[in-house]
């Protein structure tokens, strides 16, 4: 069994002061993927015993960034997707293991008024091709803050948010295309009808207290891994960020 978790920490230095190390230890996973680290390795002491650390930081200080903490040494590590237009913001880390690729992603936000939607669409198309190229070699576990609620069930207020960043028809369609190309949303695989299952809440309007949230953090797996999904969970009880961790258990050696 391989256990994974993914968490947008919204600034790891801040999250470290809010119980990050205890939460990470409590998750007790083999592979912990972080997004929006907003730091470079070494800017803070991240003392997670027993884990190797892999960091991809944005060139812009205090912005974006991803990291993976791994108990097992990977065969190879890749940073970015090999395309210059996408590889300056620290948004992607790929670890290769004997039986799978792990891809940790922090998807660009389309921003207010969909100001960055054209770039987001280009990112989605290039990322899909990247994932499919990996999938030709071995199955892929793709996770992270994908910055989109896929269906109306995935956010509290779908009607008032229709067309907003994270719930635009364009962004939702790109996730549909990825699923149709050969990926499975592990949480919906196990819990197709579950409502109120969210991973992000605005800091405004007491949204978390009222569970007025969005499910925008995912574990997607290659379709041929669907039968190996043993658990997919969301952990709203874990605080420290405006996102909570999501996790996956796969029946792999």
By annotation, the residues acting in catalysis are: 106, 145
Q: Are 187 and 144 in contact (CB under 8 A)?
A: no
Q: Which tokens go with 127?
A: 């990322």
Q: Are 234 and 199 in contact (CB under 8 A)?
A: yes
Q: Which of 233, 238, 247, 206 is nearest to 15 (CA)?
A: 238
In the chain, the N- to C-terminal Cα span, in Å, equals: 6
Evaluate the CA torsion angle 95, 100, 102, 103 in order and state its sign: positive
What is the distance between the alpha carbons of residues 83 and 90, in angstroms, rounded to a whole number?
12
């Amino acid at each position: 069994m391989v256990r994974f978790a993914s968490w947008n920490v919204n600034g790891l230095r801040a999250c470290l002061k809010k119980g990050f190390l205890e939460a990470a230890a409590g998750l007790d996973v083999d592979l912990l993927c972080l997004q929006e680290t907003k730091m470079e390795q070494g800017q803070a002491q991240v003392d997670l015993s027993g884990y190797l650390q892999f960091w991809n930081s944005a060139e812009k200080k205090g912005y974006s960034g991803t990291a993976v903490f791994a108990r097992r040494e990977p065969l190879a590590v890749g940073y970015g997707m090999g395309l210059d237009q996408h590889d300056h913001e620290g948004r992607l880390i790929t670890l290769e293991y004997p039986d799978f690729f792990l891809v940790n992603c922090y998807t660009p936000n389309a921003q207010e008024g969909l100001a960055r939607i054209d770039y987001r669409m280009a990112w989605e198309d290039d990322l899909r091709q990247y994932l499919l190229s990996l999938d030709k070699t071995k199955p892929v576990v793709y996770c992270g803050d994908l910055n989109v609620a896929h269906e109306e069930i995935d956010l509290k207020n779908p009607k008032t948010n229709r067309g907003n960043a994270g719930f635009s028809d364009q962004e939702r369609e790109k996730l549909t295309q990825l699923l149709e190309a050969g990926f499975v949303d592990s949480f919906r695989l196990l819990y197709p009808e579950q409502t109120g299952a969210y991973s992000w809440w605005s800091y405004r309007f007491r949204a978390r207290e009222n569970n007025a949230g969005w499910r925008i953090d995912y574990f997607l797996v290659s379709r041929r891994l669907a039968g190996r999904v043993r658990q997919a969970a969301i952990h709203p009880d874990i605080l420290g960020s405006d996102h909570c961790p999501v996790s996956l258990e796969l029946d792999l050696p």
